[in-house]
Structure 1
Amino acid sequence: MSDLLLKKQEGAILELSLNRPKQYNSFNRPMALALIAALEEAAVDQTVRVIVLTAQGKGFCAGQDLNEVTDPNNGINFEAILEEHYNPIIRLIRQTEKPIIAALQGVAAGAGANIALACDFVVCSEKASFTQAFSKIGLVPDSGGSYILPRLVGWQRANAMLMLSEKFTAQEALELGMIYKVVAAEELNSATQQLAERLANMPGQALGWTKRLLNASITNTLEEQLKLESDLQIKAGYSADFKEGVAAFLEKRAPKFNQDK
């Protein structure tokens, strides 16, 4: 694993931490490819039930490292950056049927903001903030921003965020429905850990299928969604986790989930 991405697993919780703090964790090609590889591995690793995406230093992620784009000798073009870096990252975050938590201690800008917002849960320090930033340098939104933001905050607000590139505090993001929770800066790690442990002890297969349903709901008709709900509920009804959940309820004890292979 590249030292640009720190990897730590404790029990069923895998933490992936962006590690370019001096550059506010802006993405270069090595870090992007390291994150892709780690997410691909985690998606099929049965010992991993929850993924936490964090970052070192003061900022979560400042988006793309512009020095890499503008380097006249070794620069990377936008096609490669999008098709080989950001688009695969967003697809993996959404298609991996495991809960993914983004924990933000500071600013998330451009692609960094949209990668965080693509996660299933976003927990922010009160010092965190968001900005789309693209329009300030003559670019358009990428990394799913034009897809995700309107669904989180509505058309008008998303239009303002994407065109004006204004900064939003963590509290404002919470009030707009962009994120899950805001905590004091010193409580970010413990709050994220508590959420990750809670999810890790829940029925992982059912959580993965719930994520599949939410993804499908964006484009499905009502009839298509009802059919998918039925198909997955029938599968869940035959699962060991369902049997365990019912048994624990009847026996008035805590369930022990994740028995399905």
Structure 2
Amino acid sequence: MIAYDDISYSVENGRARIVVNRPDKLNAYRNETADQLRDAVLRAGSDPSARSILLTGEGRAFGAGYDLATVDPNETPALDDVLQRHFNPLVIAMRQSRLPVVAAVNGPCAGAAVGIALAADIVIAARSAYFYEPFVGIALVPDAGNTQFLSRMLGRVRASGMMLLGDRIPAEKALAWGLLWDVVDDAELAPTAEAICARLAKLDAAALAGTKRLIDRAAEFGIDEQLALERDLQGEAGRTPAMKAQIAAFFAKRKG
């Protein structure tokens, strides 16, 4: 296990497990927390034994957003610098990782933590969890990818209401809105997330990475460009040893 101050990191049976470990602060993020999360995501991506990533929080919260207690009250915080140096690189690392990321939202998920959760590829939540955008209420604008993720996932009307009004969105409503893959009873969250990561870890790594790339580019491209990218990546996938083995197994099954 790699030693970090704010998170824990381990890899077992192809699954990298990253846990924000500041339960006394409801897992609010310091700059160092974001840096350590990014390092862990990159470390997992460069580890040939890692095939999926599980991200969650220790204790009763996924993340309470940015830890404002770390801001000097006598200075004007340079939040643009904080985002550029610490949080934006984390979100980019998650989206660009070759590995599928599963976020298990185990409790309150607020502010920057929402963006970090939604940067994952599959998001599941405990039934008691909720999502909360407090930015405008404290004279800030949403960050950490929130404006893009929420607008794409929810559409303008719901995204605007969520970000402008700052209401808490319960997990069940977030599921109905299309923000989540699934909601499970609190006691079932950890085993469900582990099972999803285990399932992903058994799939072809190149196919997973290519699919992640296609999903990200789908919102940017027109149909011509998207079809061309699908063509190119599928051509690469079709030439891999893993795909050849799948074809051989298919024909062997037909003959049997």
TM-score of the two chains, using structure 1 as the length reference: 0.93
RMSD: 1.5
Residues 118-153 of structure 1 show CA distances to partners (whole Å, capped at 9, x for unaligned) of 110011110111011111101001011111111101
Q: Residues of 2 paired with 1:38 and 1:71: CA distance?
A: 31
Q: Residues of 2 paired with 1:100 and 1:54: CA distance?
A: 11
SS of 1:231's equivalent? Answer: helix
Alignment equivalent of 1:26, drawn from 25, 28, 33:
28
Q: Residues of 2 paired with 1:201 and 1:251: CA distance?
A: 21
Cross-structure match for 2:218: 217
CA contact (8 A) 1:7 1:16 kept: yes
Residues 87-134 of structure 1 show CA distances to partners (whole Å, capped at 9, x for unaligned) of 011101111121000001100000001110111001111011101111
Q: Residues of 1 paired with 2:34 and 2:151: CA distance?
A: 25
SS of 1:115's equivalent? Answer: helix
Q: Residues of 2 paired with 1:36 and 1:247: CA distance?
A: 39
For structure 2, the residue ranges without an aligned partner over 5 or more in a row are none
Cross-structure match for 1:92: 93
Q: Residues of 2 paired with 1:251 and 1:14: CA distance?
A: 34
Cross-structure match for 1:256: none
The 5 A counterparts of 1:47-126 are 47-72=49-74, 77-126=78-127
For structure 1, the residue ranges without an aligned partner over 5 or more in a row are 254-261
The amino acid that maps onto 1:227 is A
Please list every run of at least 4 consecutive aligned residues from structure 1 whose deviation after the TM superposition is greater than 4 angstroms: none
Q: Residues of 2 paired with 1:221 and 1:175: CA distance?
A: 28
Of all paired residues, the percent bearing the same amino acid is 36
- How far 1:251 sits from its partner (Å)? 3.2
TM-score of the two chains, using structure 2 as the length reference: 0.95
Q: Residues of 2 paired with 1:167 and 1:101: CA distance?
A: 22
Kindly indicate whether residue 43 of structure 2 is the aligned counterpart of residue 41 of structure 1.
yes
The 5 A counterparts of 1:144-159 are 144-159=145-160
- How far 1:3 sits from its partner (Å)? 2.8
Q: Residues of 2 paired with 1:115 and 1:152: CA distance?
A: 14
Q: Residues of 1 paired with 2:251 and 2:168: CA distance?
A: 50
The amino acid that maps onto 1:203 is D
The 5 A counterparts of 1:185-200 are 185-200=186-201
- How far 1:70 sits from its partner (Å)? 3.5
Q: Residues of 2 paired with 1:128 and 1:252: CA distance?
A: 45
Q: Residues of 1 paired with 2:130 and 2:79: CA distance?
A: 26
CA contact (8 A) 1:68 1:76 kept: no
Cross-structure match for 2:163: 162
Residues 9-40 of structure 1 show CA distances to partners (whole Å, capped at 9, x for unaligned) of 11110000001001011011221211111112
Q: Residues of 2 paired with 1:54 and 1:249: CA distance?
A: 38
Cross-structure match for 1:259: none
Cross-structure match for 1:3: 5
Residues 175-220 of structure 1 show CA distances to partners (whole Å, capped at 9, x for unaligned) of 0000101111111111011101111111111011000011111111
11-20 vs 78-87, which moves further: 78-87
Q: Residues of 2 paired with 1:17 and 1:24: CA distance?
A: 12
Q: Residues of 1 paired with 2:80 and 2:151: CA distance?
A: 24
Cross-structure match for 1:206: 207
Aligned length: 252
Cross-structure match for 2:250: 249
The amino acid that maps onto 1:69 is V
CA contact (8 A) 1:2 1:31 kept: no
Q: Residues of 2 paired with 1:44 and 1:218: CA distance?
A: 27
The amino acid that maps onto 2:117 is A
- How far 1:8 sits from its partner (Å)? 1.6
- How far 1:79 sits from its partner (Å)? 2.3
- How far 1:72 sits from its partner (Å)? 3.5
